[in-house]
Amino acid sequence: MVSVRYLFDQLLREEWRMHARLFGGWRFAAFPVFLAALAAGTATFFALAGSETETLLAGLHVVVALVGLQVGSIGLVGRDALGDLLGDVTLLVFSARTLPVSERRLLAVFVVKDVLYYALLFIAPLVVGVAPLVVLTDLSVAVLPRLLASAWLAFAFGVGTSLLLVGLATRSRLLAALVGVAALAGGSLRPGLVVAFTPFGLYADPSYFRLAVSVTVPLLAAVVGFSLFEFDRTGTTRTAGNQFRRLTGLFGARDEQGLLAKSLLDVARSSGSLWKVLLSQGLIFGVVAILLGYIPDILVGVRPSPGLTLGSVLALGAFTTYNWLCQYDDAAFFGTYPIDLARVFEAKLWAFFLLAVPAGGFYLALGTVVFGPTSLLVGATVYVPVAVYVFGVTAYVAGLRPTELLFDTPVFMLFSGAVMAVLLPLVVLAIAYPLAPTRISVAAVGLSLVAGLLGVVGYRRAGPKWTRRARAGDL
């Protein structure tokens, strides 16, 4: 049996070599530097605007916990990945059936490697980025090590929570949904629990008890998740009807080559099915709802518009839907068939509409129950054009490999700048909404419509751009 230490060393080397060779060593190595600069700029902006230091640091913990949830969601694709024996590239995490190592041990070491890898290269730079607060606010240099420790633990908390939910989902999706809803409800109704049982409490009110809780909770969640996780599909015959023909018949002339049907079936037949689209947006909704409800006076003593905030952030969260739609595609694959890449992006756009719009609409409708219908109408109006903008930007800068190419520092800088150019003005408008609701609503809708048009331009240019790069061998 292969030792854990050997597996860890090889997986860590593989991760670094894969990214360094894919983007070039300096392009990937510069990624943490850019993250620190981005965090420093964001912290400076909100500090100068009058935000409370504790609010900013609470937001930092939320961000790193969400990153942890994303990293832990390896379980949503893990069963598919572990079912692949060979591909264009055979990674170690796919090799449980070809090497003398169990799937459970391999995935456990893989997750531990990811936790340490992301903690050092991504979470630590985000904490370094809050250094301007030492000068601009009353934040003490002495608390920075504690902040780093609590941020790392918040990241681990997100990973452990995600693994627990995925493990439960392999046994009962209903049970996993109930646990997720119960956790969100507990955080909403009893916000003190968030401080008591999450690593943010270690920073806010340090004690040996909170340290023990901050370490034990994510570890226990991960262990339970792994113990529940079901890897083996042998012994169960899986069949599926000819949904491809039915979908292509339904879409008719809109999908003559079957690209739209393929995109939808890629998501529906992968682990997590279509539910993962709803889950990813649900996590965003839950976090935003808690922040809106229990962190008053976020900026300059004004409570943001719930509808405009939800519409903007959910539209940004639709990026994950684009990820799911592209998880099995690349331009080289389509190059072996008489298929124009512009048609591929067109199919992705329609599939994006069919998945992202209902998911976002559901949570915006839920928001009317929580916050009332008034400002949610503005949020619903803003959601679709901003989501189109996110789609167009992602398609243009990252093509059909958004997860990989966004680790390329120049690409990520371009993507971040384009998204922030729309998101930050919308956040400012949401904060100022109570001062002049009608005029700000008109401004927000106008900005979102312009963003939507720019998104359409990016989408239309994505096909020709990636076709040229494919023909030049620059993919």
Partner residues linked to 302 by β-bridges: 299
Least confident residue range of 83-87, 264-268, 301-305, 375-379: 83-87
Q: What is the DSSP letter of 305?
A: P
Reported as a pLDDT band with limits 50, 70 and 90, residue 24 is: low
Burial class (CB in 10 A: 0-12, 13-18, 19+), 77: middle
pLDDT at 185: 66
Reported as a pLDDT band with limits 50, 70 and 90, residue 406 is: low
Is residue 232 scored above 60 in pLDDT? no
pLDDT tens per residue, range 433-470: 888 888 999 999 999 999 999 999 999 999 899 888 88
Question: From CA 69, how far away is CA 71, in angstroms rounded?
Answer: 6
Q: Give the pTM.
A: 0.75
Is residue 296 scored above 60 in pLDDT? no
pLDDT at 289: 77
Q: Check if the beta carbon of residue 108 is closer than 8 Å to that of residue 74.
A: no
Q: Give the chain's radius of gyration (CA, Å).
A: 22
Q: Within 13 Å, how many C-alpha atoms sit on residue 198's CB side?
A: 23
Q: Check if the beta carbon of residue 288 is closer than 8 Å to that of residue 310.
A: yes
Is residue 347 scored above 80 in pLDDT? yes
pLDDT tens per residue, range 68-117: 877 766 544 444 443 433 344 456 666 666 677 777 777 778 778 878 88
Residue spans of the domains in the chain: they are: 1-232, 255-475
pLDDT at 352: 94
pLDDT at 105: 78
Nearest to 387 by CA among 276, 279, 313: 313
Least confident residue range of 85-89, 240-244, 402-406: 85-89
DSSP states of 63-84: HHHHHHHHHHTHHHHHHHHHT-
pLDDT at 248: 81
Reported as a pLDDT band with limits 50, 70 and 90, residue 384 is: very high
Comparing 20 with 351, the larger pLDDT belongs to 351
Q: Check if the beta carbon of residue 148 is closer than 8 Å to that of residue 124.
A: yes
pLDDT at 194: 62
Least confident residue range of 9-13, 161-165, 183-187, 264-268: 183-187
Mean of the pLDDT values across residues 316-329? 86
Highest mean pLDDT among 25-34, 65-74, 392-401: 392-401
User: What percentage of the chain has pLDDT greater than the value 90?
Assistant: 13
pLDDT at 297: 47
Is residue 366 scored above 80 in pLDDT? yes
Reported as a pLDDT band with limits 50, 70 and 90, residue 247 is: confident
Count of C-beta atoms within a 10 Å radius of residue 205: 11
Mean of the pLDDT values across residues 268-285? 78
pLDDT at 76: 47
Q: What is the DSSP letter of 120?
A: I
**Which tokens hold the place of 329?**
């595609």
Is residue 355 scored above 70 in pLDDT? yes
